[in-house]
Amino acid sequence: MFTFTVDVIGEEQMARAFSRFGEAVSDYSPVFRELADDFLKVERDQFVSEGRSGSGGWEPLSTGYADWKAAHFPGRPLLVQSGELRRSLTERGGEHIEEIHKDSLRLGTEVPYAIYHQTGTGRMPARKLVELSEADKTRWQKRIQAFLVAEA
């Protein structure tokens, strides 16, 4: 049996078990590469929609911080100040994490402050950078199933 789990900082967002054909496959890296490509698209959608594509929308900035950001970074959307965080989740290179192995896949960002946006703090609400929608989960599940059938 093959189990595919998406865990974001200790929060399980997806867990699917694939019993049919899974035992015969020893290298999942081809399908993991496809999921890594799709992850970049999912994250681009998350940033463009300001969280609506995965989590229903990010909370607006506090009035004080919104005023400061408008003065120092005019026109920049939520969670984009320098652009480093967005780039690290939507483009390969830089601070982007993409580790593909035969039996595991790790995606994300090395930007140190990303965790505070994902989980929130005592002074800032969580604005989930990585949050798979049900459509994303279904698409990934179907892609894995198709891969397993093709490999069988």
d(CA 109, CA 58): 19
What is the pLDDT averaged over residues 110-125? 96
Question: At residue 1, does pLDDT exceed 80?
Answer: no
For 65-116, write each residue's pLDDT tens digit: 999 999 999 999 999 999 999 999 999 999 999 999 999 999 999 999 999 9
CA-based Rg of the chain, rounded to a whole angstrom?
17
Angle at 35 between CA 108 and CA 135, to 5 degrees: 100
More confident: 144 or 2: 144
Residue 21 pLDDT: 64
**3-state SS class at 86:** helix
pLDDT score for 4: 87
Is residue 10's pLDDT more than 90? no
| CA 134 to each of CA 55, 56, 76, 112, 131: distance values in angstroms, whole numbers, following the listed order | 10, 12, 28, 28, 10
Most confident listed range (9-18, 49-58, 71-80)? 71-80
